[in-house]
Amino acid sequence: MRLVKLLANLGYGTRKEVQIAIRNGWVTDRAGNALKADARTAHDDILFDDEPLDPAQGMVLLLNKPVGYTCSTKDQGRLVYDLLPDRFRYRKPVLSTVGRLDRDTTGALLFTDDGTLLHRIISPKADVPKVYEAVLDRPLKGDEAALFASGTFLLDNDEKPLLPAELEVLGEKHARLTLHEGRYHQVRRMFAATGNHVTALARVKIGNLTLDGLEEGKWRLLDAGDLAKVFGE
């Protein structure tokens, strides 16, 4: 791929803006040699403003999402993309969230520009479990674990029962819930159906991938080992 197209696809600017950057000598190889617009230098050997390029297509990153951010590129207010470098919004193929977390839910959120990988993660066939921790308004009654694990639990306005989910009691008003599907506001609706209300909710694990010390509002790129953890390997 020609250098101009490569940089534009990575979000470093429009083709015109990238051409200006190249003419100004801001795009070099690792030896410091300015590159030409038609250069076919290896991706890993290219620097933009003395910094290595972002990963090529197939990039996956993990964000520790704070409260108050929406998983959208167009909604009003604060968006999860505001927590990433601006150029990530303009990558081609587009960098998409892998599923969604609602505005008031925090924790592990994946992004990728690999459509095949995205669909593999969210596919029911992959059975990638998601683990949530919920803080509740009222004490647990004691029958929630059996109810959620039954495979017959039906939410309001749904015609299909939920898949069995595992509940671990962490405190009087604190629980960890492992889901094997992803329905709209599922955790909140499950507890609401028992007469309770979720006051705080965080996704703490996707497959075997955890936030592992990642600070709230921060992100990191994932490698092959991380992706293996997503699929429980």
Dihedral sign from CA coordinates of 67, 141, 128, 209: positive
Q: Please, which residues have CB within 8 angstroms of residue 164's CB and are 6 or more apart in sequence? A: 148, 149, 150, 151, 180
Q: Residue 111: beta bridge partners?
A: 61, 97
Residue 3 φ/ψ, nearest 5 degrees: -55, -45
Rounded to an integer, what is the distance from CA 170 to the centroid of its chain?
26
Q: Which residue is associated with the tokens 């009654």?
A: 141
Q: Say which amino acid occupies 46.
A: I
Catalytic residue status for 102 = yes
> Quick one: CA torsion of 70, 76, 78, 80, rounded to 10 degrees?
40
Of 44, 45, 75, 102, which one is the catalytic site residue?
A: 102
Instruction: Look up residue 208 and give its DSSP letter.
Output: T
Give the residue numbers marked as catalytic: 102
